[in-house]
């Protein structure tokens, strides 16, 4: 009996460690480390609580809040856009996680932006769709889903990204600036309003 129990515990621990290793690849290099206290909290809430709508770090920094997540996939099923919607007493913030590093250049009405990266001894340029266009579209959808509330839009980039050449009508921030910027906004939402808006989406 003890051998069977030991074997079961070993299997469970092995599967948990495998899942933790696999999930970490989807955590690093994203907006998520700026929203959770650490990877342990993120993994615990994802794997065991199965609820990422709350963060102890955001509770400390912003107070009462809720988080929503969504992704837009292309026709081949690949994730094309990733969004986090943060509801707190300072309002509703639709954040697009733009996982592009390097120098980002582009203007508000440009169809495409340029990502310039240094690769060894050469500089390579990549073209990406203007991320603000998708953000505007998703923000309108989210506003309707939340009952018509006004959503504030944020484009969030990895901390090493150079944003000096990017111009847009929405807020451009590095990951580590997002929570600090939101804290500076005036309070406009009550806890009941947050829960009502959150439940409109989470029950769908």
The reported pLDDT for the residue numbered 2 is 58
117 by DSSP, 3-state: which?
strand
What CA–CA distances, in Å, run from 47 to 16, 71, 89?
9, 19, 28
Domain membership flag for residue 95: yes
Asked, for residue 153, whether it belongs to a domain, the answer is yes
Angstrom distance (rounded) from CA 45 to CA 47: 6
3-class DSSP state of 71? strand
Interstrand relation of 103-106 and 162-166 (parallel, antiparallel or unpaired): parallel
Burial of 195 (0-12, 13-18, 19+ CB in 10 A): middle
Range of the structural domain that residue 90 is part of = 53-202
Residue 99 resides in a domain? yes
**How many domains are contained in the chain?**
1
Please list the residues that pair with 118 across neighbouring strands: 123
Report the pLDDT value the prediction gives residue 49, as an integer from 0 to 100: 75
**114 lies in some domain:** yes
In angstroms and rounded to an integer, the radius of gyration of the C-alpha atoms of the chain is 19
In a domain, 88, yes or no: yes
Question: What pLDDT does residue 76 have?
Answer: 83
Alpha carbon distance 46, 63 (integer Å): 21
Structural domain includes residue 143? yes
> In Å, what is the CA distance from 184 to each residue of 34, 91, 116?
16, 11, 31
- Note whether residue 1 is domain-resident: no
Distance of alpha carbon 160 from the chain centroid? 17
Whether 6 maps to a domain, the answer reads: no
The phi and psi torsions of 27 (rounded to 5 degrees) equal -105, -45
- pLDDT tens for the chain, residues 1 to 204: 555 544 444 544 454 544 555 667 778 899 999 999 999 999 889 887 789 999 999 999 999 999 999 998 888 888 889 999 999 999 999 999 999 999 999 999 999 999 999 877 788 899 999 999 999 999 999 999 998 899 999 999 999 999 999 999 999 999 999 999 999 999 999 999 999 999 988 765
Q: Which helix (H) or strand (E) holds 74?
A: none
Beta-carbon count within 10 A of 135 CB: 22
pTM of the entire structure? 0.88
């Amino acid at each position: 009996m003890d051998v069977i129990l030991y074997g079961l515990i070993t299997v469970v621990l092995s599967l948990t460690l495998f899942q933790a290793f696999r999930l970490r690849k989807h955590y690093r290099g994203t907006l998520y480390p700026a929203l959770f206290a650490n990877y342990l909290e993120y993994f615990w809430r994802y794997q065991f609580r199965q609820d990422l709508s709350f963060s102890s770090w955001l509770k400390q920094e912003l107070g009462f809040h809720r988080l929503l997540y969504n992704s837009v996939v292309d026709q081949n099923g690949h994730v094309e856009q990733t969004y986090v919607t943060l509801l707190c007493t300072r309002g509703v913030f639709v954040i697009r996680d733009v996982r592009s590093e390097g120098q980002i250049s582009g203007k508000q009405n440009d169809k495409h932006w340029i990502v310039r990266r240094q690769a060894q001894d050469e500089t390579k340029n990549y073209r990406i769709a203007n991320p603000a266009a998708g953000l505007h579209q998703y923000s309108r959808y989210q506003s309707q889903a939340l009952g018509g509330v006004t959503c504030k839009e944020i484009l969030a980039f990895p901390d090493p990204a150079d944003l000096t050449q990017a111009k847009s009508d929405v807020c451009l921030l590095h990951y580590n600036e997002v929570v600090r910027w939101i804290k500076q906004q005036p309070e406009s939402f009550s806890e009941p309003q947050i829960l009502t808006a959150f439940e409109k989406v989470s029950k769908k």
